[in-house]
Amino acid sequence: MFSLGAIKIPTVAFLRKQLNTTALIEFGKYIQKVFPAVFSTEFIQHEVVGEYSYLFTVRGSDPQLMPYMLLAHMDVVPASEEGWKFPPFSAEEDEGYIYGRGTLDNKNSAIGILQALEFLLRRNYRPRRSFYIGIGHDEEVSGLDGGKQIAMLLQARGVKLSFLLDEGSGILDGVIEGIKSPVALIAVTEKGSLTLNLTVRSDPGHSSAPPKETSIGILAAAVSRLEKNPMPRLFGYGPELMMFEHLASEFAFPLNIVMKNLWLFSPLVSRIIERKPTGNSMVRTTTALTIFKAGIKFNVIPHLASAAVNFRIHPAQKVAEVLEIVKDTIDDDRVEITVTEAFDPLPISPWDDQALGVQIFRRTIMDVFPHVSSIAPGVCIGNTDSRHFTNLTDAIYRFNPVVLKADDVSRIHGWNERISVKDYEKQVEFLFQLIQNSDIDKLPKPHLSTHEL
Ligand SMILES: CCCCCCCC/C=C\CCCCCCCC(=O)N[C@@H](CC(C)C)C(=O)O
Ligand SMILES: [Zn+2]
Ligand SMILES: [Zn+2]
C-alpha cells in the first residue's frame, strides 16, 4: 500500500532557491521511519547529499558485477487548491485511486523503490549486483543541487554504472492514437531545452498620445511570429523513428504498413501526429510562450516588455540551430534575445541485444505486465535528473512502470494527479522483480514471444 504520509508532505519546489525545506527535512525523517530495514541493514550505506537528497549504496555480494542505479525525486511542482477533486496534499482515496501531487511525479518511484527494497530485506535478501538509489530533492527546478551533486559524488568515487533507470515515460494505454493495447515506452533519450528571455524597450509616456508602436506591441508581434511559425518537422530523423517502427504491428491495417515504411510515409504521418500536443512534441522542437510581463498602469506606456519562451529540442536538432531559426523568425533588432538556459538533446542510449538494462527491463515488464503487447524505445519529452549522469554511463533509460491512460498525461503537473492503488502495487512489484532480475551476470536468452524488441 502507498505510504500515504509521503504524499501529505508538501515538498514543493517553486524556484531553485525557493524550496519548502521544512517539508524536505520531514520527508527524510519519514522515509527513515517507514523503511527501517533500508536504514539499518549493514550492507546499505545512506548519505544525505546537497542537504536534502538521499543516496543509498546497496553493496551486492559479487563485486565483479558492475552496479546499476535507480533514480527518483521527492520534490513536487506547486499545486493550486482549486481545480482538484480533493486537496492536493490530502492523499485522499476515492474509488481505488489515491489523489495528490506527486502520486505520479515522482513520489510513486521514490517510495516504490524503497518499499520494494524494504520487502526484499525483510525476506533476508541480499543482491549479488550492487546498486545505487538516488532520491533527488530539486528535480523540478533543475536538479543542480540534488541529482547533479549525487552524480558528481559518484563520479569522484570513480563509479561507473551498467545502466540507470529514472522517470520520464511509462506504459501508454490509449495515449497513442491508433494503438489499442498498452505499450511500454522506455525513453532512450530526452529532448534538449532552450529558454530565451525576450525584451523590448521603448520610450515611456502618456497613454493619451501613444506612439505608433509600443514595447508591448513589438514584443507581442515577435512572440506571435514564433507561435505561428513552428519549428521544422523532424519526424523520422530521431529515435522516434525506431519507436514507431517497433510499434508498427500494433496499428490496424493500413496504418501498420504505413508505420513499417516511414522512410516513405513520415511526412504524411507527422502531419497527422502533430495535431495533438503530445504527438507534436515527437515531431519537432516545440515552442512554448510561458511568461509575458509588461505595464504597471492603464494610462502609462511602459518602457519595458519582456517574455520567456521555452523550446524543447528534438533529438535531431541542437541549441545553436534553434537559436538561429528564432532570430530569423523574429527578424526585429528591437527585440533583445538572451539565453536563460540551454542544453542539447541527451545522447541516445543503447537499444540492442547487448544492452543489459534493456534486456532486464524487458524481462521484468513481461513478468509483471503480461498484458503489455510491445516494448519499444521512446523519447522523453521533458527533462529528468538522469541527464546529470552522462559521465557515469551511456545507458540511461527513462521509464516509470505505471499504466498511463489518455487523461493521465495531463494530470502530471496538472489537476487531480492520481495513481490507482493497484497501479502503485504493480510499480512496487516491478521494482521488486527488477532488483532480483538485475542479479543475472549475463544476458538472458532471447524470449520467444510476440513482444517487440
Ligand atoms: C505519439 C505520442 C507519444 C507521446 C508520449 C507521451 C508520453 C508521456 C508520458 C509521460 C510524461 C513524462 C513527463 C516527463 C517528465 C518530465 C519531468 C519534468 O517536468 N522535468 C522538468 C525538468 C526541468 C529541468 C525543471 C521539465 O520541465 O522538463
Ligand atoms: Zn518528475
Ligand atoms: Zn515533474
| pLDDT tens column, 165-188 | 999 999 999 999 899 999 999 999
Tell me the C-alpha to C-alpha distance, in Å, between residue 212 and each of 180, 203, 251, 292.
55, 12, 55, 21
Tell me the C-alpha to C-alpha distance, in Å, between residue 131 and each of 25, 356, 364, 394, 436.
24, 14, 17, 16, 11
pLDDT in tens, 136-147: 999 999 999 999
Q: Which atom of ligand 1 lies at the shortest distance from residue 383's CA?
A: 28
User: Looking at the predicted structure, is the pLDDT value of residue 349 above 70?
Assistant: yes
Find, among 227, 204, 228, 226, the residue nearest to 215 by Cα. Answer: 204
pLDDT in tens, 238-288: 999 999 999 999 999 999 999 999 999 999 999 999 999 999 999 999 999
Cβ(247) – ligand 1 distance below 6 Å: no
CATH class of 3-172+348-438: alpha beta
Cβ(178) – ligand 1 distance below 6 Å: no
Local confidence band at 444 (pLDDT 50, 70, 90 cut-offs): low
What CA–CA distance (Å, rounded) separates 113 from 85? 28
Q: What is the ipTM of this complex?
A: 0.94
Q: For residues 383 and 151, is the Cβ–Cβ distance under 8 A?
A: no
Tell me the C-alpha to C-alpha distance, in Å, between residue 250 and each of 242, 247, 274, 451.
14, 5, 19, 11
For the domain with range 189-343, which CATH number is right: 3.40.309.10, 3.40.1190.20, 3.40.50.360, 3.30.70.360?
3.30.70.360
Taking the CA atoms of 78, 192, 266 and 397 in sequence, report the sign of the dihedral they define. negative
Residue 418's H or E segment, with its range, is strand 418-420
Cβ(273) – ligand 1 distance below 6 Å: yes
Tell me, in angstroms, the distance from the centre of ligand 3 to residue 155's CA.
25
Q: For residues 273 and 280, is the Cβ–Cβ distance under 8 A?
A: yes
Tracing cell 494505454 back to the chain, one arrives at 173
Annotated binding site for Zn(2+): 73, 105, 140, 167, 413
State the helix-helix crossing angle for 215-228 and 319-330, rounded to 10 degrees.
Answer: 120
**Residue length of the chain:** 453
pLDDT in tens, 40-71: 999 999 999 999 999 999 999 999 999 999 99
Report domain extents, the chain: 3-172+348-438, 189-343
pLDDT over 90 percentage in the chain: 95
Pocket-testing residue among 169, 341, 388, 402, ligand 1, by greatest number of atoms within 8 A of Cβ: 169
Q: HSE (CB half, 13 Å, CA atoms) of 104?
A: 24
Residue numbers annotated as active site: 75, 139
Pocket-testing residue among 241, 379, 380, 397, ligand 1, by greatest number of atoms within 8 A of Cβ: 380
Q: Which ligand is nearest to the CA of 383?
A: 1
Work out whether strand 418-420 and strand 97-99 pair parallel, antiparallel, or are unpaired. antiparallel
Cβ(174) – ligand 1 distance below 6 Å: no
Strands of the sheet with 304-313, listed across from one edge: 286-294, 304-313, 192-201, 336-343
Tell me, in angstroms, the distance from the centre of ligand 3 to residue 201's CA.
34
Q: Do the first three CATH levels of 3-172+348-438 and 189-343 match, i.e. the same topology?
A: no
